[in-house]
Structure 1
Amino acid sequence: MTRLALIRHGQSQWNLENRFTGWVDVDLTEKGRAEAHKAGSLLKDTGIEFSACFTSVQKRAIRTLWMALDEMDRMWLPVTRAWQLNERHYGGLTGLNKAETAEKHGADQVKVWRRSYDIPPPPLEKGAAFDLSKDLRYISLGVDVPATESLKLTLDRVQPYFEAEIAPRIESGESLIIAAHGNSLRALVKILFDVSNDDIVNVEIPTGNPLLIEMMDGTLKPSSARYLDGERATDLPPIK
């Protein structure tokens, strides 16, 4: 049976500080590291032999994967890092405290920026504190760093990468791990579970809790799905 394990990175420093993170390369907290190790332990307990892993080019996801693989005694598994799996870019909200932003702009406006499917936040200005257009990793990869993204724009980069690089391997029977971010994983859940634009904004993926999806052989259709840490599970979309 083919399985796909999706892991949102463990708690990051800016998760703890309630700040909009996006493409800023924030590291894990001690709690986040513990969540990463537990994710690996939970995956190890399944007895599943995974053949390869994918992650973003952001350290909180990369480190989560490292720690999980260490716990699984599978650090030798091949890992592909792809910027397309990065977190959503929060534009001009990047670095701001979420509660203070709601006080300044109003809770309803911030909810639109955070949760609407296709309305992005205001763009980040060139040369601003968290402008990554001159970051070496993106220059070396030839990436035109976005100034802002909605969930739809995030999906627009995640889906082609998934279909070209990951989906064929699932369809051929490989079991894979993807360690990424709340919004890039939300995009994958939208694809795999055929979730509507309205409903996907309500899907919340907990940090460091592997979502294990079993696939019908030779397809991308889930036959079952569950979070391995049941105590921290959130609601999943119905399997169609």
Structure 2
Amino acid sequence: MTANRSSNVMTLFLLRHGQSELNHENIFCGWIDAKLTDKGKEQARHSAELIKQYCKANNLKLPQIGYTSRLIRTQQTIETMCEEFKLKPQLQIVYDFNKIKLGDEFGSDKKDNMKIPILQTWRLNERHYGSWQGQRKPNVLEEYGKDKYMFIRRDYEGKPPPVDLDREMIQQENEKGSSTGYEFKEPNRQIKYELECSNHEIVLPDSESLREVVYRLNPFLQNVILKLANQYDESSCLIVGHGSSVRSLLKILEGISDDDIKNVDIPNGIPLVVELDKNDGLKFIRKFYLDPESAKINAEKVRNEGFVKNP
């Protein structure tokens, strides 16, 4: 898709990570660290190619900065995309908004065009699915029934039961599997999120509604993503998140109502272009997928997860 470009437009390339091992198994993944499947890596390469084509057609630079969650599947997605872009990712975990280091050359003519800073934050993590994490969606649907299942899964206020971290989090770095019936477990937070846990202002969740995802993500959007876009007059950036974190970004940027957001479904591995007006406080202009037909088909598959078996 070709659009009329303007120097007054800031472009966000939003992307839900490529297919993960647990997406493939129709399992609620949440904060479990599932890796990409081969299909997921191919989706990431294809997404990079679509973005390259769009940038070339619209005389737009490749993304100048990238953002991911702290979960492996988004990191693998953006690293695979950087390979296609022929850029070297410079990874940095953000646990304090005041401790971001982009390098003196960022945003200047001295910038190393082969490098791209990638800021990683727990605030872009998938919604925490509480005790539903690691559970197969058809089994949860059967246990809760269609109405309650869809309310918890899709409604803005819907929230699963909290996780019991003593049972559903890996207690030792080398622990494999579980003797308590949970085949898939969340990484030990004291190890994986050591930096975040050292910041006493951060409280990591044990279950979340979409409202709570919006609440924890909005400060990062305002104080990091949009602030840096203004500060360095960026033309574009790349954000690789998850179904719920991408939905949350759209809700904030586009002003989607609490009721309408439940009808927004995000497919894996298809770039969504969001344009913001630099002359009007980075106000939302429009959004569109770079592969709209595939996005429509795969978004419908996302909505039906739990009701039909994955192919």
Aligned residue for 1:63? Answer: 76
Does residue 41 of structure 1 match 2:80?
Answer: no
- Normalising by structure 2, report the TM-score: 0.72
Residues 135 and 18 from structure 1, CA distance in 2 versus in 1: closer, same or farther, beyond 3 angstroms?
Answer: farther
Does residue 92 of structure 1 match 2:153?
Answer: no
Alignment of 1:40-189 (within 5 A): 40-47=48-55, 48-49=60-61, 50-75=63-88, 76-129=115-168, 130=185, 132=187, 134-142=189-197, 143-172=202-231, 173-174=233-234, 175-189=236-250
Query: Do 1:35 and 1:208's aligned partners in 2 also have CA atoms closer than 8 Å?
Result: yes
Aligned residue for 2:309? Answer: none
- Amino acid paired to 1:86: N
Give the secondary structure class of the aligned counterpart of 1:87: coil
CA distance in 2 between partners of 1:228 and 1:22 (Å)? 26
Aligned residue for 2:284? Answer: 222
Higher alpha-carbon deviation: 101-110 or 191-200: 101-110
Identity of aligned residues (%): 36
Aligned residue for 1:212? Answer: 273
**CA-atom RMSD in angstroms:** 1.8
- Amino acid paired to 2:246: L
Give the secondary structure class of the aligned counterpart of 2:259: helix
Does residue 198 of structure 1 match 2:211?
Answer: no
Query: Given the alignment, which residue of 24, 28, 31 partners 2:39?
Result: 31
CA distance in 2 between partners of 1:30 and 1:133 (Å)? 26
Residues 98 and 124 from structure 1, CA distance in 2 versus in 1: closer, same or farther, beyond 3 angstroms?
Answer: same
Aligned residue for 1:234? Answer: 296
Instruction: For structure 2, list consecutive stretches of 5 or more residues without a partner in the other structure.
Output: 1-8, 89-114, 169-184, 300-311
Q: 1:66-93: CA deviations, max 9, x gaps?
A: 1112112223211101111100000010
Give the secondary structure class of the aligned counterpart of 2:247: helix
Instruction: For structure 1, list consecutive stretches of 5 or more residues without a partner in the other structure.
Output: none
Deviation >6 Å, runs of 4+:
none
Give the secondary structure class of the aligned counterpart of 1:178: strand
CA distance in 2 between partners of 1:133 and 1:121 (Å)? 21
Query: Do 1:132 and 1:145's aligned partners in 2 also have CA atoms closer than 8 Å?
Result: no
